[in-house]
Structure 1
């Protein structure tokens, strides 16, 4: 059986490996396809696709969009995004502007509290990266303000806390429109990470389905078998394709391996085959 990973990050956002290094690792892991789904950016896709030349690996161009539902940040994956779409590119540029605006404010708040952090330190020599909280956590850890990146998130980088204002709100309706207008394949990422409870999770999936949601990330590094079983049932209830991915970030999440998560994750390529068949039948 062949295996895939449909939720992967590179240093185009908050991963630590370059897109080409992710490709090399995926080949080493004997995966047949990966979806590069960096946060609010598609900048790593071209490099990843070029790196697969002559290799037995397919790159699915993807993205992970952040939006707010019931005051909770949720993430929607877009698989098979069309990076040549000018309207899509324009929307993504606007999302990056919102992130940039918040990042400047985070740095101001840290410096005001005598926690010395600069934009150059956060970018770490990659000015094109989409900066996320993980970038700040790394700097806080490297400069000795915290003992671990996990502590940085809990002490300084909780959403809405004194050092980490929320981005200007992007609604699920807006995020879904960005993806559906692009003819991408929208998937709700790691539903149980939002801690909404079963009823509100069901309501979220129902509302997104009405907006064009096509997939549910049933298999994820944060799920146990019981949770994945519940999500399989939820996917069947709403006629959604089950997907899965490790949410690999390199050393920013050192306990999560590409393709296998925390050790027990394996995503059959048959799930991807079903999605491809659906797209062949429905995509103009």
Structure 2
């Protein structure tokens, strides 16, 4: 099974993907995936539907979450930087995790309304239009604003929306609450899950998670998160800087971290293709063995 495609990062309409959890499972099956992880932003609401569909299609499923967190960036005067944390096989009823998800989602909703108020001064958009495209129970986020901007012809696609109007350093941006990274790691571990740093070399993570320059310094930086319970890093990801991934591989090897690869699939919302990066069977087994909060769905060919 060394050629098995194990994609451990995908989104559905439970957050900012374009497809239902069942549709994601169907696509995973059609693409020939061995296993896929459903990791919607700050919610577990897609798990039940995904489990049923995964069992139906015979595809493996690792139930998960992509938890919003933040870290302090020494290079910018300790201003917080957003960093996402993947959590696999967590207990969906763990009180600390549930409380944190509720708090984050509430702040996300308020933040989105404030962003729309700012945008409405310059563009023909209002909150009711944005609210209407957010599926019931889904985690609200900037992609939902982008959906309205695209429908109105203000931008061509999500990439253009995020590059300009919805940019994190743009005039319409409003930050939202997120726990510190070390606290997010602790919560996932306490919930029986396996915490893995998501695309640490991409837009939101740099430079606080940068591994360029002195690798020993990078090892020391990551060691602090390992001390809080970090178990892995997502290295195979299209947003990671390919010139730095060899350094991150050295950090992961030195610290004994699980290494994952994934697509970060969002359906039609992003160009990412299911299975474009994969996790090794050995690292997949480490996750399955370490996670105690919930159980995976094993593929029919297992």
Q: TM-score, normalised by structure 2?
A: 0.84
Q: Which residue of 2 aligns with 1:99?
A: 108
Q: Which residue of 1 aligns with 2:118?
A: 109
Cα 1:134–1:192 shift into 2, 3 Å: same
Matched, 1:217 2:226: no
Return the alpha-carbon distance in structure 2 between the equivalents of residues 168 and 145 of structure 1: 28
CA RMSD in angstroms, aligned pairs only: 2.2
SS in 2 for 1:186: strand
Tell me the number of residue pairs that the alignment of Structure 1 and Structure 2 aligns: 276
Deviation at 1:222, TM superposition (A): 2.4
Instruction: Please list every run of 5 or more consecutive structure 2 residues that lacks an aligned counterpart in the other structure.
Output: 74-79, 296-302
Deviation at 1:232, TM superposition (A): 1.9
Q: Which deviates more, 135-144 or 95-104?
A: 135-144
Return the alpha-carbon distance in structure 1 between the equivalents of residues 179 and 90 of structure 2: 19
Within-5 A mapping of 1:234-273:
234-254=251-271, 256-260=272-276, 265-273=277-285
Q: TM-score, normalised by structure 1?
A: 0.89
Q: Which residue of 2 aligns with 1:126?
A: 135
Q: Which residue of 1 aligns with 2:86?
A: 77
Instruction: Please list every run of 5 or more consecutive structure 1 residues that lacks an aligned counterpart in the other structure.
Output: none
SS in 1 for 2:201: helix
1:147 to 144, 156, 165: 156
Cα 1:128–1:204 shift into 2, 3 Å: farther
Return the alpha-carbon distance in structure 2 between the equivalents of residues 98 and 41 of structure 1: 14
Using CA pairs under 8 Å that are at least 6 residues apart, name the structure with larger relative contact order, 1 or 2. Answer: 2
Say if 2:88 and 2:291, in contact at 8 Å, map to a contact too.
Answer: no
Return the alpha-carbon distance in structure 2 between the equivalents of residues 224 and 270 of structure 1: 24
Deviation at 1:202, TM superposition (A): 4.4
Deviation at 1:93, TM superposition (A): 1.1
Deviation at 1:31, TM superposition (A): 1.1
- CA offsets 1:62-104 (integer angstroms, 9 cap, x no match): 1111122122211111011111324322221111111111011
